[in-house]
Each structure stands twice: as structure tokens, then as C-alpha cells.
Amino acid sequence: MEVRFWPSSTVAVVVLSLCWPGTGVTQSDPDLARALDERAKRIEGQVIEWRRDIHQHPELGNHEFRTAQLVADHLRSMGMEVRTEVAHTGVVAVLRGGKPGPVVALRADMDALPVTEQVDLPFASKVTTIYNGREVGVMHACGHDNHTAILMGAAQVLAEVSDSLPGTVKFIFQPAEEGAPEGEDGGADLMIREGALEDPSPEVVFGLHVFPGEVGTIGYTPGGALASADGLRIVVRGRQTHGAMPWGGIDPVVVAAQIVLGLQTVASRQLDVTKAASVITVASIHGGVRGNIIPDEVVMEGTIRSLDHDMQSEIHQRVRRTAQLIAESAGATADVSIRLGVPVTVNDPDLTELMVPTLERVAGEGRAFLKPPTTGAEDFSYFAQQVPGLYLSLGVTPRGANMDTVAVNHSPKFYADEEALLVGVRALVHMTVDYMLARR
């Protein structure tokens, strides 16, 4: 991969030597690149307006009715082929370029979280709703309002240059990334099952997520970028007795405590920590009704994270064995249930390498960087299982902010600097066009 710059009095002409397995193509279209940037800058104010509107009217997963209508109306206004109600509220649109070429998919998520906003903004959310039987505030605490607005902007930019596009773009606006309501199905997996990646089928898929980081920077991670996320439930059963005479029964509380500690040795002592990171967390323990009665059972719930698919399976086996044998040693039993969640988000290494020059050009010198993996999870992983994918991190922390104290995603104080929106739009449109040119 090579990037060469020839100075010009009016514009720096960029030639990308882009490689893909079985292909070596050199292309240059500075006029199209300049047109993308000019149009992205022209609609920056509109993208900000969309983001603020979506932020002020957040909706939980599978209930993104207003957001989906806003998206669908915008896409239809540009003459795209639009399909709605995919996986309940998802929107899929197709933009066919004026020249033959590959199909590129761009994805954004639309759902908010059951979080009461604590950021003092003129467009702060005041929305409340009923979630799992409880009244809760609703907030775009993970930044999906930014993702949706960015992709709406990218769709407009690419539509305005569609005659020059050497390929087709598929826009995927996804509901329920944070999970479907209890008892419902949803998210990326359901979108795929309902044909989001068909007619036409993309060669690659791109997406991005806002994260704490200097505003406008772009992080990329080849290979395992975000972790799998599996639910863990352990029911420890003993025998109830008086708290003053524990020898008269089997204490599941003590056994549960030993299991919590034992599970930590799975990640720290039983797995090769140099291969990939993993996390086993017990975040909830419930048992008993008063201080002088040892209960019959204790229920523990938590999460298992891994950045490697094979290691994920091994962790499950070791968690079951550890919990069951610790319980057995005390005469108790441990019923271990592991609920498979989203898989590891894997960025295709070749695709990532291919796009690095584009990201460096978009972000600016020193502002596109190799980012370590994170143990957060993302159901973009389902799309990247079907076709090569690249999922980026977009920094949204205001310049000069203290990174040690800044609120992270899912916090009621999470704040995204809107300066990053333009960078996000430019990243998506330039990756799309550069990939098309490389594959033409």
C-alpha cells in the first residue's frame, strides 16, 4: 500500500495504490475526492440539526418509529430504493452509482438507552417511557444519534455524486443494537435474517462508533476489535439452616463467594493472557431474606467477554467446570447457564490495511491511529461475519478535556462534541469511494 502526494497550486492530488487479495489497482480521482469534501462541509449544519433532533427524541430498541421515519423520508427524497420495517424498525436503502463497480454497505444504529440524561444541553432528552415494567428516562447515552446523523449525511453526499460513483451503496439503519426488549428478537442478526445483506449483496461493510477520545480522531483495530458478550447465570443450591449453626446445612452464600473468586482465575491463570483479553464479571448476587437464616440457594448473574472466538468456547467450559467443582467440594450444586450474546467484532485485516491511507487523509496527520481492542461489544459483528467488515472508533471528547474524568458511553453525562460529525461523514464517504476505485 502506497500513498504519494504531488503538490499543486490548487489541490493535492492523491494516488492510492490499493491492494485486495487477488487484485492490485492504482486509481486516482482528485475531482471526486474534492467533491465529496465540499458537499460534506456544505451539509455539516444539517447533520448537526439531525443529530440534535434525534438526541432530543430518543427511542429504545425496536421502537425507533420516529427515527426510522425521519431516515426513510430523507433517503426517499433523494430517489433511493428504500425498504422499511426490517427487523421491526430498520431501514435499508440502495443507491446505484452511474458506473459499474462493487456494492459497499454502510451501517448505523438508531436506538437509545434507558438512561436519564444529566447533560445540560438545550436539546437534552426529557423523554420517559416504560421499560421492563418500570418508568425510565431515555437518552442517547451511547451516541447512536451521532451514528444515524452521520450516515444520513453520508447518504446525501454520495447521492449528490451518484453519477460518478463506480459502484452501489447499501445504507443500513439498524434498530436494537443495545438489545431487543425482553421477550422480543431484534438487532443486526434479525436484520440479516430478514435480508438486509441481500439484493444486492455487499462485498464489504463499514461502520463507526463514537467513543471518548480527542474530537475528530479515528481509531482502527485489525482483527478482534470488540469482544463477544455472553450472559452468565449461576444458581448455587445448598441446604437452609440457622445462621448460628451453619454445620446443620450447606451454605450457598459461602460457596457463591468462592465461585466468584475462582472464576477470576479462569482469565488470569487458566488462559494464555498474551493471546487475547477476556473478562469474567459477576455483577449481581441474590440470596436469603434475613441475617440469621442461611438460604437454600443463591443466584449470581454476570457477563463473559472475549476477543477470540476459540478462547470464548474454552472460557465457557472452564467457567462451568470451576463453578460446579467448587460447589461439589462443599456438598452444594451449581447450575451454570451461559446465554450466547453477540460474537467478537472482527475487522478484516486486509480491508483495514487497505483503508488506513484513507483514514489518515480524512483525520489529518497523526490523528488516525492503531487502537487497542476493547472489551465492549457491538452487534456490527454479525454483519462482519457475513462479509469483510471494518468498524472504526471516532473520538468525540472536546479538545482540552481531562480524559481521566470524561464521562464514557452509557453514562447519563456522556457528551459528544459535534465537531466530530463532519469527520465521520467524510470517513464513510471516502472509504466507500476509495474501495470502489480499488475494486473497479
Query: Is 127 within 8 Å of 169 (Cβ atoms)?
Result: no
Q: What angle do CA 289, 233, 128 make, to 5 degrees?
A: 80
What is the grid cell recorded at 94? 440502495
| Domain locations in the chain as residue ranges | 2-227+344-439, 228-342
Q: Check if CATH label 3.40.630.10 holds for domain 2-227+344-439.
A: yes
Cβ atoms 143, 209 nearer than 8 A: yes
- Tens of pLDDT, residue by residue over 194-208, are 999 999 999 999 999
Q: Which pLDDT does position 132 carry in this prediction?
A: 83
Share of the chain above pLDDT 70, in %: 94
229, 379 Cβ separation under 8 angstroms? no
pLDDT of residue 440: 81
Which amino acid is residue 223, in one-letter code? G
Where residue 13 falls among pLDDT bands split at 50, 70, 90? very low
Q: Are 164 and 32 in contact (CB under 8 A)?
A: yes
Arithmetic mean of pLDDT, 284-298: 98
Handedness of CA 314, 316, 319, 325 (dihedral sign): negative
Give the model's confidence band at 124: pLDDT under 50 very low, under 70 low, under 90 confident, else very high: very high
pTM (2 decimals)?
0.91
At residue 1, the pLDDT reads 34
pLDDT tens-place string over residues 16-55: 444 454 333 334 589 999 999 999 999 999 999 999 999 9
Q: Kindly report the number of other CB atoms within 10 A of residue 411's CB atom.
A: 16
**The dihedral of CA 360, 432, 55, 118: what is its sign?**
negative
- Select 228-342's CATH number: 3.20.20.220, 3.30.70.360, 3.30.70.1400, 1.10.230.10: 3.30.70.360
Interhelix angle for 44-56 vs 65-77, to 10°?
Answer: 160
In DSSP notation, 142-207 reads: T-HHHHHHHHHHHHHHHHHTGGG-EEEEEEEEES-TT-PPTT---SHHHHHHTTTT-SSPPSEEEE
> Average pLDDT for residues 320-346, to the nearest whole number?
98
CA distances from 289 to 243, 251, 283, 297 (A): 12, 14, 19, 11
Contact 278, 307 (CB under 8 A): yes
To the nearest whole number, what is the mean pLDDT of the chain? 93
Q: Measuring CA to CA, which residue among 211, 171, 127 is closest to residue 420?
A: 211
pLDDT at residue 425 tops 80: yes
CA dihedral 282, 283, 284, 285 (to 10 degrees): 40
3-class DSSP state for residue 255?
A: helix
